[in-house]
Amino acid sequence: MQREVIIAGFGGQGVLLIGQLIAYSGMLEGKAVTWLPSYGPEIRGGTCHVIVIVSDRRIGSPYVTQPAAIIVMNRPSLDKFEDRLNSGGILLINSSLTDRLPERKDIRVIAIPATDLAHKLGNSRVANLVMLGGYLGATEVVGLPTMLQALQEVFPEDKHHLLPLNKKALEVGMSYLTEP
C-alpha cells in the first residue's frame, strides 16, 4: 500500500500541519513516510502545498506528479491542482471556499463545507482538521486512534486544551462522508 496526497491552500490554513500529522501518524504505525512542503516567501496568506506519501515499503522519491488524492482548501488551489490528480483519484474540496466543482468525470469528488462546519464547532481554525477527517474517512491511510496520538504528540502542551475540539473536527469530517 502506498498513498500519495497533495494538500494545498493559503498559508495560515494549516495545510502544512495536515501533512505533518499524516506523516507523523504513518511513522507511529511503522510505515515509511515523506513530507515535502512547498511555499513562497509570503507563507501567511500566500499559496502553499505539501506532498505526503505513506507506504508500507520504501519510498523512491518524495515528489509526486499525479497523486492518488488531493485536498484543496480554496479555489486557487483547486484551479492549480485539479489536473494533477491521477485518474480514479480522490479530490477533497473545502466547498466553503470554492465556487465551483471540478469538471473531470474520472475522479471521485468529495465536497466538504469545512470552513462552515468549523464555524459550527466554534473555531474556524479547525477547518483543516475537518478536511483531514474527510481524507482519513475516504482513504483509511492511518487509523483515527493513531491520528489522535499524533495530535497529542505534535501539539505543544499549552495547546492540549484544544485536543477535544480537534478530535471533534476530525470526527465531523469523517462522518460527513456518510451523512446525506
Domain boundaries, the chain: 2-176
The answer to whether 80 and 68 have CB atoms below 8 angstroms apart is no
Look at residue 45 and tell me whether its pLDDT is greater than 70. no
The C-alpha cell of 32 is what? 515509511
CA distance 37 to 123: 25
Strand partners, 42: none
User: Whole-prediction pTM value?
Assistant: 0.93
When mean pLDDT is compared across 3-7, 22-26, 27-31, 58-62, the lowest value belongs to: 58-62
CA distance 62 to 165: 32
Torsion sign, CA atoms 12, 86, 170, 178: positive
Look at residue 180 and tell me whether its pLDDT is greater than 50. no
Residues 6 or more apart in contact with residue 177 via CB below 8 angstroms: 110, 134, 137, 138
Q: What is the pLDDT of residue 21?
A: 98
For the chain, the average pLDDT equals: 93
Question: Of all residues in the chain, what percent carry a pLDDT higher than 90?
Answer: 86
Look at residue 60 and tell me whether its pLDDT is greater than 50. yes
115 Cα distance to chain centroid: 13
Q: What is the CATH number of domain 2-176?
A: 3.40.920.10
Q: Which of 81, 116, 107, 59 is nearest to 8 (CA)?
A: 81
Look at residue 171 and tell me whether its pLDDT is greater than 90. yes
pLDDT digits (tens, 9 = 90+) for 108-161: 999 999 999 999 999 999 999 999 999 999 999 999 999 999 999 999 999 999
Residue 47 pLDDT level (bands cut at 50, 70, 90): confident
